[in-house]
């Protein structure tokens, strides 16, 4: 599950774990993985792989030997709260290197390409 510490990704990861599925998480931050996913070591020994989808080859270890890939990544804007605590759209921006084209297009493409290489095209992408 890529994006496993996000809102949807964490739900997918936890649901699969609860069903007894051997699942791996690809995350950007081990500390956040510890908080969101409840891992202890938050490393490959627990099926947690830390990397950056915008970096070529970063996901390769996570997909090696995998039989399916759940792509649950997304570029997320950072917004300053406005009146009533709601995000003020006029303040929204994306961190450097994390524009939708970087994460959603190039990152999505990198995930599928890495998975296809690792599975020789024999496994599904969700």
The pLDDT assigned to 123 comes to 66
The pLDDT assigned to 119 comes to 85
C-alpha of 100 from chain center: 14
* Global pTM value: 0.86
Beta bridge partners of 2: 26, 71
User: Would you give per-residue pLDDT tens digits along the chain (126 residues)?
Assistant: 999 999 999 999 999 999 999 999 999 999 999 999 999 999 999 999 999 988 889 999 999 999 899 999 999 999 999 889 999 999 999 999 899 999 999 999 999 999 988 988 676 666
How far is it, in rounded angstroms, from Cα 67 to Cα 39?
A: 22
Answer yes or no: are the C-beta atoms of 61 and 49 closer than 8 Å: yes
> CA nearest 28: which of 9, 7, 46, 4?
4
The pLDDT assigned to 83 comes to 87
Answer yes or no: are the C-beta atoms of 73 and 109 closer than 8 Å: no
Residue carrying structure tokens 């994306």: 94
């Amino acid at each position: 599950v890529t994006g496993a510490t996000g809102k949807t990704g964490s739900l997918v990861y936890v649901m699969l774990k609860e069903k007894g599925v051997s699942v791996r998480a690809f995350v950007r931050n081990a500390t956040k993985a510890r908080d969101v996913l409840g891992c202890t070591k938050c490393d490959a020994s627990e099926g947690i792989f830390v990397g950056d989808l915008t970096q070529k080859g970063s996901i390769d270890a996570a997909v090696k030997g995998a039989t399916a890939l759940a792509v649950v990544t997304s570029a997320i804007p950072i917004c300053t709260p406005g009146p009533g605590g709601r995000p003020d759209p006029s303040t929204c921006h994306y961190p450097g290197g994390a524009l939708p084209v970087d994460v959603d297009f190039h990152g999505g493409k990198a995930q599928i390409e890495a998975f296809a290489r690792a599975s020789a095209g024999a496994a599904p992408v969700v």
